[in-house]
Structure 1
Amino acid sequence: MLQQAPSGGPLEPGTLKTADTSTDSTEPTDPMELTDLSEDAGPSSMMETKESVAAAPAKGLRFWAIVAALAASKLMLALEITIVSTALPTIVHTLGMGSSYVWVSNGAALASAAIAPPLGQLSDLFGRRHPTCLSVLLFVIGGIISGAAASGPQLIPGRVVQGLGAGGINVMSAIVVSDLVSVRHRGKYMAVMLTAYLLGAVSGPLLGGVLVQAGAWRWVFWLPVPFGVVSFLVLAFFLKGKVRDADSSRRERLRRADYAGNVVLTAATGSMLYAVTYGGSEYPWSDARIIASLTAGVLGLGLFLLLERHLSRSSNNNNNTVEPVMPLRLLNHREGATVAAGAFASSLLSNWANFLLPVYFQGVRMSTPSRAGVQLLPIVAVAVPASIFSVVLVSKLGRYKVLHVAGFAGMCVACGLFSILDAASGDEEWILMEVLFSLGLGMVINTLLPAFQGAVGESDQGVATSTFTFVQSLANICSVTMPASIFNNRFGALAGRISDEQVRAQLGGGKAYGFATRAFLEGLQEKARVEVVDVFGEAVSGVWYVAAGIAGVAALLACAEGEVVLREKLETDFALEEKVGVEVKVDERTSSK
């Protein structure tokens, strides 16, 4: 039987120890508490715990209204991302944006990454309702501004506002679920939101194509707005919870916010984003601007860590001092560090595949853009059920380490196999590889956050979730710029195989990725086309080698995870108020028993 050892006491053989939630949030988590399972623990021990404890509010109208509203906001988010990706070439051409088009995506990505840590801290200081509603409202306002834009300089600010909203929705949806459901069972409800997100991701490209062909590209930004309005109204009415330190004045709580840390982190992230956006494409990596930007970003992150270390020590000794926006106690033990690394790797690899596979299908197999979209469907078709099965398994068994190891190992093998694909590969080959990759992705995509949250006390759930989301946002930023840079650099090294000097010059200077399309290849002479396809294929293979290495390192780190008991008892300072038109009981048993 899995048992939780008494706080501070030694572990009995065959038991797990959970992170102690009775200590003050300013105390660091003891790394020794994150102990691996004994080999003596048998399968039957995984099925039950010593205590039967409460796990969530009653699953009544209010609970499901909040979950549905959060799912609607995730659907809105996915629609916006995928529709904009489909319509972006038309938008760029219509508004005459030139090379500034990269900031349509990167401006939103930077804003999304920057908002996560401060919003998590604000939700701890002032409660969940206002930051959540503000996030949805910002997304809606940003969509309206973007749809009404008459030029690039008008569109980019709208996209930045949308990015702030998107980052807020990502972090606050996870935080709110952590207030509703115990860490053991919350993965199931995150899977509901993932399903809504993937529904939007699948339908978005189709809707984007229809809107562009109809000449109504502005509706690319306006279409998700109704989902946001409904989500905002439902959350504003139902999401009314308690506030930690409610007796403190607003001024006292504002004094505890980490303004310096937020500014330094945002500046460092922006500096690194500039470098990875333009390095290897607009400017060579040896350019002084790229080197300076990268150096400033790395130094900024170092300064941020020093600042957070100082604030963590100060807050340990004085509860009235500034609270660090990203407490280092979240990462200074094996469990937190390895799971955070896994979160970065999983987000990076997921977007890496979505970026690189279309290059293979269009630039090597010469598929049309619409057919390339269809060829990505096996990933969605397998990843969703695999994710749902994985979180249900975690809820039943309370175990996740084996899923993380197997998931990253599967992705490592799949990325290695992707590297051998060429123009002559059969359909069954890439389909089986996509299935293997998706099975691995499904095992980790929704089980990493509960593992990260389970390693810290309930009082740290807000900052833990925002830190986790920030790590994922950094990965999302890197997931396009990294493979594009590797692809272009690899292509440049192989470009000598192309005999036509004019074609070679056209594809040089970091421009190869933009020409990996069927339309471009069909315009070439037969000899040049064969040569270009061959170089495209080898360049893509080189990028998959790097992806396989990343997945392999993530699998090794997962082996080092210190698995902890996922708490079944929900203890939160932000419980829902007992009445808001309907009765809510906070201490019902889980329905999963």
Structure 2
Amino acid sequence: MEQILDREDSQKTTKRAFVFGAILIGMFMAAIEGTIIATAMPSIVADLGGFSLYSWVFSIYLLMQAVTIPIYGKLADLFGRKPVYIFGVVIFMIGSILCGIATTMPMLIFFRLIQGIGAGAVQPIATTIVGDIYTMAERAKIQGYLASVWGISAIVGPALGGLFVDYLDWVWVFWINIPFGVLSLIGIIFYLHENVEKKKHSIDYLGSGLLLVSISALMLALIQGGVAWSWSSLPSFSLFALFLIGITLFLLQERRAKEPMMPLHIWKNRVIFASNLGALTTGMIMIGVISFVPTYVQGVMAQSATVAGFSLAMMSIGWPISSTIAGKVLVQLGSLKTALIGGFGLIIGTSILLLSQPAFGPVFVGVGSFFIGVGMGFTTTTYVVSIQSSVDWKVRGVATASNMFMRILGNTVGIALMGGVLNTRLSKYLEGQAGNLGQTVNLDVTNTMLDPDKRSALPTDVVHLLEEGLSISLHNVFWGLAILSIISFIFILFLPKEIRKTR
């Protein structure tokens, strides 16, 4: 659907400066939510309980965002950017308010689902509006500003989350979204004016539904398998079967859909295939670091949420710096060499996390996070530019969107996989240490370790045992990250040496 903004002939004209300001605020709101909650999660778990459900707070948000992005894109073509963007921000704000008043972990997970439904509209529609109101010559500069928003939010988010937890209350990691959302809505409602030329489009609701069902089944199997039920039990078998059937039907649907949410023909392009698989694995690494580094620093090293936030923020510092460098050297070095720098960064960073010990302190973990950020910056920049340079203009949009989708899908599957590894290993440890602990305990004992007051009330020997169990379990997660970094490196080797020049 082609969107035409009425700039000259209509009595009302779009005021680009105000609209762009509103977009920046909206994107900052959506971007900071992905990092600010990471350092608050240990405190949220300590307050609400439900450590075994820890991963769901991240995964349900990411899943709903991934599934709704292509739907919102089609709706924006049908009804205009403005109503879809407003709808997304309003739903996001409602979800944020509800998250702040959650009293149990299941409630929080459900409210995060609502928040994720809204978040799916913010980033893609904001980017589309920029494409509508600015000329080709202006977009490069504007996109630079948008990229800086993500860099700033990535740096500010973890530290701000830690400060909220230490000096205010964890509810503010959600409620901080409200003033940003209101300001963004004001700018869009009053200053964005558009005429919509309606054309008939076919929205792939069936494909979206099949993807939602299949990935949800996989997430539930990975997170609860070995904890709520055994891996060889009927629930595990049924969920994995549902995933396989759902994915098969999804692929068949994408082959027959008039306008599929994930066109399969673009995957025949070797660059897209390698870059998208790389985006999937790096997305899994990214969410693993964001989700579990704060838990390691707070639960094992007994540091504050603020310190944990700064340890995680090192990744956010390395990412934008390396992205900027990658953009400057990509043409000279080519896709392969530039991405290999990132691949080495991922391996170095995950290796440092794997070698970390409580005695090394949070700075050591921060260094590992920084190198992972470097790896993310070099690889993600190379993937996007390589894809855009390998296809013609008419399919560049859908090809780029496929890479974004795979990265979010990696986030979704990654948090479920890492959460499953953590829960399974920690459950086995606690079963084995039941005699030394004096009682049989479950995963919720970790809630005590993440609350400084409750932790200090425990006997020293019990604290040491629980620290050891959490450390062992998280190092299993770090092993998973290290393996994923090696797989990512292998995918990089399939990239071409040079950047193809396209218009």
TM-score, reference length from structure 2: 0.81
Question: Residues 73 and 445 from structure 1, CA distance in 2 versus in 1: closer, same or farther, beyond 3 angstroms?
Answer: farther
2:44 is the counterpart of 1:110: no
Any idea what SS the aligned residue of 1:505 has?
coil
Match of 1:263 among 209, 221, 230: 209
The CA distance in 2 between the partners of 1:99 and 1:429, in whole Å, is 27
1:370 aligns with 2:306: yes
What code does the residue aligned with 1:550 have? L
Q: Deviations over 1:285-331 (max 9, x none)?
A: 333223212221221111111121233xxxxxxxxxx2222111222
Amino acid at match of 1:166: A
Aligned to 1:277: 223
Answer yes or no: is 1:420 the counterpart of 2:355: yes
> Counterparts in 2 of 1:502-517, with a 5 A limit?
502=437, 505-506=440-441, 508=442, 510=443, 514=447, 517=450
C-alpha contact (below 8 Å) 1:499/1:528 kept by paired residues = no
Contact 2:300 2:470 in 1 (8 A): yes
How far did 1:351 drift? 1.9
| 2:9 paired residue number | none
Contact 1:79 1:204 in 2 (8 A): no
Decide whether the 8 Å contact of 1:308 with 1:325 is kept in 2. yes
Residue in 1 that maps onto 2:327 = 391
**1:480-513 Cα deviation digits (max 9, x unpaired):** 332232233334555687484436732x5x5576
CA displacement at 1:465 relative to structure 2: 4.2
Deviation per CA, 1:331-361: give whole Å up to 9, x if none: 2221111111121222211221122323332
Amino acid at match of 1:440: G
- CA, structure 1 residues 438+564, in 2 after alignment: closer, same or farther (shift >3 Å)? same
1:302 paired to 2:248:
yes
What does residue 5 of structure 2 align with?
none
Q: Are residues 358 and 211 of structure 1, via their aligned partners in 2, closer, same or farther at CA, if it must alter by over 3 Å?
A: closer
CA shift at 1:551, angstroms? 0.9
Secondary structure of the residue aligned to 1:305 is helix
Equivalent residue number for residue 558 of structure 1? 492
RMSD: 3.9
User: Which residue type is aligned with residue 255 of structure 2?
Assistant: R
Contact 2:335 2:499 in 1 (8 A): no
Letter in 2 for 1:555: F
> How many Å apart are 1:116 and its aligned residue?
1.5
**Aligned residue for 1:451?**
386
The CA distance in 2 between the partners of 1:134 and 1:409, in whole Å, is 42
Alignment CA distance shift 1:351-1:512 (3 Å)? farther
> 1:241–1:390: structure 2 CA closer, same or farther, 3 Å change rule?
farther
- Hey, what does 2:25 align to over in structure 1? 72
**Offset at residue 279 of structure 1 (A):** 2.4
The answer (yes or no) to whether the contact 1:484–1:513 under 8 Å persists in 2 is: no
Corresponding residue number in structure 2 for 1:198:
154
8 Å contact kept, 1:71–1:192:
no
Is structure 2 residue 284 aligned with structure 1 residue 348? yes
Q: Which residue of 2 aligns with 1:29?
A: none
Could you tell me how far 1:377 is from its partner in structure 2? 3.5
Report the CA distance between 1:379 and its aligned residue.
2.4
> Are the aligned partners of 2:275 and 2:495 in contact in 1 as well (CA < 8 Å)?
yes
User: Structure 2 counterpart of 1:561, which letter?
Assistant: L
Q: Residues 242, 331 of structure 1: CA spacing in aligned structure 2 closer, same or farther, 3 A cutoff?
A: farther
| Cα pair distance change 1:499/1:219, threshold 3 Å | closer
1:177-188 paired onto structure 2 within 5 Å = 188=144
Q: Write the mapping of 1:165-176 to structure 2, written as runs, cut at 5 A.
A: 165-176=118-129
> Residues 101 and 406 (structure 1 numbering): CA distance in 2 closer, same or farther, change over 3 Å?
closer
Q: Which of these residues, 379, 385, 405, is aligned with residue 315 of structure 2? A: 379
- Secondary structure of the structure 1 residue equivalent to 2:268: coil
Name the SS of the counterpart of 1:360 in structure 2. Answer: helix
Conserved 8 A contact 2:159-2:306: no
Give 1:573's aligned residue. none
Assess, with a 3 A threshold, how the Cα gap between structure 1 residues 518 and 98 changes in structure 2: closer, same or farther. Answer: closer
- For 1:326 and 1:129, how far apart are their aligned partners in 2? 24
Counterpart in the other structure of 2:294: 358
- Once the two structures are aligned, what percentage of the paired residues are identical? 24
Larger Rg: 1
Q: Alpha carbons of 1:485 and 1:198: their partners in 2 closer, same or farther (altered >3 Å)?
A: same
Deviation of the 1:198 alpha carbon? 1.7
Work out whether residues 498 and 528 of structure 1, in 8 Å CA contact, stay in contact via their aligned partners in 2: no
Distance across 2 between alignment mates of 1:151 and 1:512: 16
The amino acid that maps onto 1:272 is L
- Could you tell me whether the CA contact under 8 Å between 2:54 and 2:419 is conserved in 1? no
Choose which of 538, 543, 557 in structure 1 pairs with 2:472. Answer: 538
Cα deviation, 1:27-62, whole Å, max 9, x if unaligned, reads xxxxxxxxxxxxxxxxxxxxxxxxxxxxxxxxxx96
CA distance in 2, matches of 1:160, 1:381: 29
Q: Residue by residue, what CA displacement relative to the aligned partner does 1:229-263 show, whole Å, maximum 9, x if unpaired?
A: 222333455656787xx4xx55xx14x22232222
| Closer, same or farther: CA 101–203 of 1 in aligned 2, 3 Å | closer
Aligned residue identity for 1:539: S
Partner deviation per Cα, 1:48-88 (whole Å, 9 max, x = no partner): xxxxxxxxxxxxx9666555433311221244445555666
Report the CA distance shift for 1:400/1:562 in structure 2 as closer, same or farther (over 3 A). Answer: closer
Gaps of 5+ in 1: 1-60, 312-321, 570-593
The residue that corresponds to 2:407 in the other structure is 472
Count the aligned residue pairs.
486
Q: How does 1:306-345 map to 2 (within 5 A)?
A: 306-311=252-257, 322-345=258-281
Cα distance in 2 for partners of 1:154, 1:70 equals 30
- Cα pair 1:500 1:528 within 8 Å, conserved: no
Change (3 A) 1:186 1:554: farther
In the superposition, relative to structure 1, how do residues 399 and 73 fare at CA in structure 2: closer, same or farther (>3 Å)? farther
User: Does structure 1 retain, via aligned residues, the 8 Å contact 2:158–2:309?
Assistant: no
Contact 2:42 2:295 in 1 (8 A): no
1:174·1:465 contact (CA, 8 Å) conserved in 2?
Answer: no
Is 1:209–2:171 an aligned residue pair?
Answer: no
Match of 1:434 in 2: 369
Contact 1:121-1:325 within 8 A present in 2 as well: no
| Counterpart Cα distance in 1 of 2:50 and 2:484 | 35
Do the aligned partners of residues 487 and 85 (structure 1) sit closer, same or farther apart at CA in structure 2, a change above 3 Å counting?
Answer: closer
Match among 172, 179, 190 for residue 226 of structure 1: 179
CA deviation profile, 1:529-566 (whole Å, cap 9, x unmatched): 44544444333333222211111111111121136757
What is the alpha-carbon distance in structure 1 between the residues aligned to residue 380 and residue 462 of structure 2?
A: 41
**Could you tell me how far apart the structure 2 residues matched to 1:457 and 1:137 are?**
36
Shifted more, 153-162 versus 329-338: the winner is 153-162
Q: Tell whether 2:108 aligns with 1:162.
A: no
Q: Any residues of structure 2 matched to 1:236-251 within 5 Å, and which?
A: 236=189, 246=197, 250=199
Question: Unpaired segments of 5 or more residues in structure 2?
Answer: 1-13
- In structure 1, what residue type is equivalent to 2:475? S
CA contact (8 A) 1:140 1:228 kept: yes
Q: Residue type matched to 1:408 in 2?
A: G
What does residue 73 of structure 2 align with?
120
- Whole-angstrom distance in 1 between the partners of 2:404 and 2:349: 26
The answer (yes or no) to whether the contact 1:383–1:441 under 8 Å persists in 2 is: yes
- CA 1:208/1:449 → structure 2, altered by over 3 Å: closer, same or farther? farther
Q: Give how far 1:367 is off.
A: 2.3
1:413 alignment partner AA:
I
- When residues 201 and 355 of structure 1 are mapped into structure 2, their CA distance, relative to the original with a 3 A threshold, is same
Structure 2 letter corresponding to 1:438: G
